[in-house]
Chain A
């Protein structure tokens, strides 16, 4: 079974530009989460999408946005890039809703996209 995939692996942009990051969840997973991992810091929650809807949002400015497509893949868009947006962006997926073993809470992570803003 394929895991969570992300593209591109690396992205270099200049300040003020826009970046688009993509994520494909594990087959059958309906929820996608985005995290920012800045150098030396832990993971900071960005966004949660489920069934095409934004369900929760972390403490990030509105220039961080995204969407989830009918096939459950997701995009993260970062507008008006700033130097401090340079980080590893991780996507995770999970199966939301009841299953035979109860709610599925575990998130499975992709390899990440390394964004560098110059």
Chain B
């Protein structure tokens, strides 16, 4: 079974500080793709960052970076210099082509950036 677990339903961080959102997943596949999406209160899902499982180097997108630990099946998201606009629900997801391109999402972490 393919599962994604986000164990932190809610988190908060002071503006300009750094926060890490955790995600673990379970799959028997070797070739898969991992994603972090954010869903602000306006509800449009936006891609934050993606990682190919075959790449050892952690992905980075400006203030967003991941810590991908393949053996531990862990895929955490670090947000540096948090901004008010980062307030959103964050979803961790993965996809394998062997499951018909189906994305498996976690239940999300609600992040609030405090001024």
Contact = CB atoms under 8 A, between A and B. Distances in A.
Contacts of B44: 109-112
Contact of A58 (B95, B102, B106): B102
A33 B101 CA distance: 9
Determine chain A's interface SS by DSSP, over half rule.
strand
B97 A103 contact: yes
Interface in B36-59: 37, 42-47, 50
Nearest to B94: A105
Interface residues of B, number: 25
Nearest to B50: A106
A44 B104 CA distance: 8
Contacts, number: 57
B101 A48 contact: yes
B67 interface: no
Interface of A: 31, 33, 35, 41-45, 48, 55-56, 58, 88, 90, 92, 94, 96, 103, 105-112
Interface of B: 4, 33, 35, 37, 42-47, 50, 91, 93, 95, 97, 99-108
Nearest to A105: B33
10 contacts: A33-B101, A42-B107, A43-B103, A43-B105, A45-B104, A48-B101, A56-B99, A106-B35, A111-B43, A111-B44
A33 B103 contact: yes
B48 to A, nearest CB: 11
A108 B101 contact: no
B81 to A, nearest CB: 25
A83 B15 CA distance: 40
A109 to B, nearest CB: 4
B101 A42 contact: no
Nearest to B37: A109
Contacts of B50: 105-106
Contacts of B100: 48, 55-56
